[in-house]
Structure 1
Amino acid sequence: MAARDTSPRRLPRAEREQQTLDVAQALFAQHGYAAVTMDEVAAAVGVTKPLLYNYFGNKERLYLACLGRTADALIARLTTAFAEASDPGEGLREALRAFFAFVDSDRASWQVLYDETLPTGGEIADHIDAYRGQATDLVGSALRHLDPAPGPALLPGMAHALLGAVEALCRWWIRDGAGDLSAAATADAFIALVRPGLARGVREGAPTFSPSPNPGPART
């Protein structure tokens, strides 16, 4: 009887890259970008360090690949929530629910996107800024259609403030509130708090509500 082959199955490159991203994202989420090394990622994936470098170049490029998946997924959820809404107030409410649902369903992705150990400059910071710019543009496109809407000079700041409040509440919920409150209940409580502003009507003569975030920088 022939001996059974127990050697690891050789994966196609695309499949191995996705496996590597899954493992790396879990490590980045657990330990933070600054603490994770390429040696640790290679060992956890079960590949050689030279192969890992061949696939992604360096730790920054590996993190950017994880970050791109996460940011794209969240922006897609927010865009869908806005696009399917009948008016900007409903769009903002549904986007808030979508934001919390995303955090609840994928904590690792949230922790990668909002890692406090990330560098404050360079390409990673540029990509984080681009993602936040997309999210802020989506919020701003809804606020612009409310009546009364914030003035042009104040609109970006108001959109930034609303997004920042949601991000801060999500951080609190993960750290302190998740044991007592569901993500949906937390989102609905925040919506109730800001509902008077979100309930304002659409400005007469305003163009059709159609949010479209600006594209971020190209990812490699």
Structure 2
Amino acid sequence: MIEIAEAVFSERGYAAASMDEIAERVGVSKPMLYEYFNSKEGLLLACIRQSRAALRSVTEQAVAGAESAEQAMYKGLHAFFVFIREHRQAWSLLRHEMVLIGTSAADEIEATRQQQTDLIAALMSGYFETSAPLQVEAAAEFVVGACERLAIWCERHEDVSPEVVTGYAMDILWDGLRARAMS
């Protein structure tokens, strides 16, 4: 149900998506969708939460066992860009948040950003000098924002692979972070 709903939300946009179409594609009745999710917004929230959990999982798995800050950064960035490429519909939901401002979905999207920021900050605290926790937090926010914009840029440049965009991100981000990495 979530996969199909994600596809309809991605194709039509949240406002234009209908529970009738989602129910028809899923092969259930519209009341059944409401039984599971309570509302169209509830279904959207379920889609966003599933995507957030999947993104966290792939990112955590990617950086597990990294032997250096640089390797952890590369693996985490690469996992993000692969996720965006392989989950275009989920990414579409996350990036079209402007139409959702003032809704619970906007809060869920921000929670996704915060999740990634917290994950990056925790990772950085293991590899970087942490005498300035606000600076670590700011750096993590910067990484999330930069990568979000690069992912949007990748939509316009489909020929750019996750490996190439990860290299671009590392060229810019790692230069600024390298001096803070502990040996």
TM-score range, shorter chain: 0.7 to 0.9
Query: Structure 1 length normalisation: TM-score?
Result: 0.74
Q: Which amino acid aligns with 2:50?
A: R
Displacement after TM superposition at 1:201 (Å): 6.5
Displacement after TM superposition at 1:149 (Å): 5.2
Q: Deviations over 1:166-214 (max 9, x none)?
A: 010000111x211x3222212112212223234446437xxxxxxxxxx
What is the number of equivalent residue pairs in this alignment?
A: 183
Relative contact order: is structure 1 or structure 2 higher (C-alpha 8 Å, sep ≥ 6)?
1
2:89 aligned residue:
108
For the pair 1:32 / 2:13, whether they are aligned, the reply is yes
Displacement after TM superposition at 1:87 (Å): 2.3
Q: In 1, Cα distance between the equivalents of 2:117 and 2:131?
A: 14
2:102 aligned residue:
121
C-alpha contact 1:150 1:158 (8 A) present in aligned 2: no
Q: In 2, Cα distance between the equivalents of 1:43 and 1:145?
A: 49
Q: In 2, Cα distance between the equivalents of 1:177 and 1:118?
A: 24
Q: Which amino acid aligns with 1:183?
A: P
1:192 aligned residue:
171
Q: Deviations over 1:32-85 (max 9, x none)?
A: 212212122123223222222122211011111111111111111111122221
Q: 1:82-161 to 2 correspondence within 5 Å?
A: 82-148=63-129, 151-161=132-142
For the pair 1:167 / 2:167, whether they are aligned, the reply is no
Matched residues, percent identical? 33
Query: Structure 2 length normalisation: TM-score?
Result: 0.88
Q: In 1, Cα distance between the equivalents of 2:85 and 2:128?
A: 32
Structure 2 portions without partners, runs of 5+: none
Displacement after TM superposition at 1:102 (Å): 0.7
Q: In 2, Cα distance between the equivalents of 1:120 and 1:59?
A: 16
Range 124-133 or range 58-67, more displaced = 124-133
RMSD: 2.1
Displacement after TM superposition at 1:150 (Å): 7.5
- Give the structure with higher Rg (CA): 1
Structure 1 portions without partners, runs of 5+: 1-19, 205-220
C-alpha contact 2:97 2:106 (8 A) present in aligned 1: no
Q: In 1, Cα distance between the equivalents of 2:11 and 2:98?
A: 12
Q: Which residue among 39, 48, 67 is the counterpart of 1:67?
A: 48
Greater helix proportion: 2
Distance change (3 Å), C-alpha of 1:56 and 1:71: same
Distance change (3 Å), C-alpha of 1:84 and 1:112: farther
Displacement after TM superposition at 1:96 (Å): 0.4
Q: In 1, Cα distance between the equivalents of 2:33 and 2:106?
A: 23
